[in-house]
Amino acid sequence: MIALNQSGRNWKKTAYRAASVVFIAVFGACSTFHQPGKESVKIYSRIYLTDYNTAWQAALEALKPFDRTVQNRQAGLLQTTWIENTAQKNFIDSFGDRPTYMKAKYRLRMSLSPGHYNGRPSVKVSIQKEQMVQRDALEGWNEAVSDSVEENTMLYRVGRIIFSKVKLKKMEEQRIKDVLDQGV
């Protein structure tokens, strides 16, 4: 009778432990799902009121100084190669309280998606900077948070290039119209 009583207690302990593990697994797993705003890499975007061809040419022109690994017009994707920026990161961080880096690199991903805004053609241009740093030889590459300067600069460049292309196109159309009016 004593042996049955002890095995009954062990069974209850085992069932209690199993129920606890299941409870933690089910309700604790919610914290591992995607939580908006908690991403380490932020995507910056702007909407430009222009056609897709103009925006694509502006994006190519803005990324002209960089080598590109991905350039897919149909998908609207541009991606640069990894760009080494150890000297820049160490120079900027040398005046702060952050440690220096042995190596640092980044790449830019730009995506363009056409749409319409109030009946006019528009293009949403999004850019993401993937910054990786390595503090020492034994530590692998770690993702670092961007300061958003490069992303906002690229979006500004694309916007200014689009503005100049649209302005030149309007001036050309006006010049052609004036020539045709004078000729008639």
Cross-strand bridge partners of residue 120: 117
In this structure, what DSSP letter does residue 127 have?
A: E
Q: Scanning the structure block, which residue is given the tokens 């993937």?
A: 130
Strand stretches in the chain, DSSP E: 43-48, 68-72, 77-80, 83-84, 103-117, 120-134, 142-144
Question: How many residues does this entry show for the chain?
Answer: 184
Domain ranges of the chain: 2-31, 39-169
Question: Cα–Cα distance between 50 and 114 in angstroms, integer?
Answer: 9
Give the pTM: 0.70
The CATH number given to 39-169 is 3.30.530.50
92 or 47: which leads in pLDDT: 47
Q: Between the ranges 2-11, 100-109, 124-133, where is the mean pLDDT highest?
A: 124-133
Those residues whose C-beta lies under 8 Å from the C-beta of residue 6, and which sit 6 or more positions away, are none
More confident call, 147 vs 16: 147
Neighbours of 68 (CB within 10 A): 16
% pLDDT > 70, the chain = 76
Examine the pLDDT at 94 and tell me if it is beyond 90. Answer: no
Query: CA nearest 151: which of 69, 47, 44, 29?
Result: 44
